Amino acid sequence: QSALTQPASVSGSPGQSITISCTGTSSDVDDYKSVSWYQQHPGKAPKLMISDVSNRPSGVSNRFSGSKSGNTASLTISGLQAEDEADYYCSSYTSRWSRVFGTGTKVTVL
């Protein structure tokens, strides 16, 4: 199972919106509504930000939103803040009953 493809880095200024893409195949992202997004700060465990494509867990800022079209899922962060600077990973269920993560995207707040 190959990792889902994410851009290595995305940057934006405070207050701007950015979007991170996550591209898979017909065997994972395209076939299931089980795409999640995680935020990871250096030296910390990942934190769930979005589940099932677009559901935001309790306590997660509404500046984070998710969507999906075909085999590509997206995470949008609006009103970018300094605290959003972190690594972001998508994940998906797969047709082989396994799970797969994306390659990861480093978000930099300029």
Partner 1 sequence: EVQLVESGGGLVKPGGSLRLSCAASGFEFSIYSMNWVRQAPGKGLEWVSSINIGSSYIYYADSVKGRFTISRDNAENSLYLQMDSLRAEDTAVYYCAKETTYSTFDYWGRGTLVTVSS
Asked if residue 19 lies in contact with residue 75, where contact means CB atoms within 8 angstroms, the answer is yes
Query: Does 99 sit near partner 1 (CB under 8 A)?
Result: yes
Asked if residue 62 lies in contact with residue 49, where contact means CB atoms within 8 angstroms, the answer is no
Q: Of 35 and 80, which CB lies nearer to partner 1 in the complex structure?
A: 35
Query: Does 45 sit near partner 1 (CB under 8 A)?
Result: yes
The CA distances from residue 105 to 6, 28, 58, in Å, are 6, 19, 23
Q: Which of 22, 64, 71, 104 binds partner 1 (CB under 8 A)?
A: 104
Q: What angle do CA 47, 49, 53 make, to 5 degrees?
A: 135
Q: Of 80 and 104, which CB lies nearer to partner 1 in the complex structure?
A: 104
> For the window 10-29, what string marks contact with partner 1 as x by the rule CB under 8 A?
--------------------
Q: Of 64 and 89, which CB lies nearer to partner 1 in the complex structure?
A: 89
Phi, psi (degrees; rounded to nearest 5) at 86: -175, 180
Q: Which of 24, 75, 93, 107 binds partner 1 (CB under 8 A)?
A: 93
Provide the edge-to-edge strand list for the sheet that holds 18-23: 18-23, 72-77, 64-69
State the residues that interact with partner 1 by CB under 8 A.
Answer: 1, 3, 32, 34-36, 38, 40, 45-48, 51-52, 57, 87, 89, 91-93, 96-104
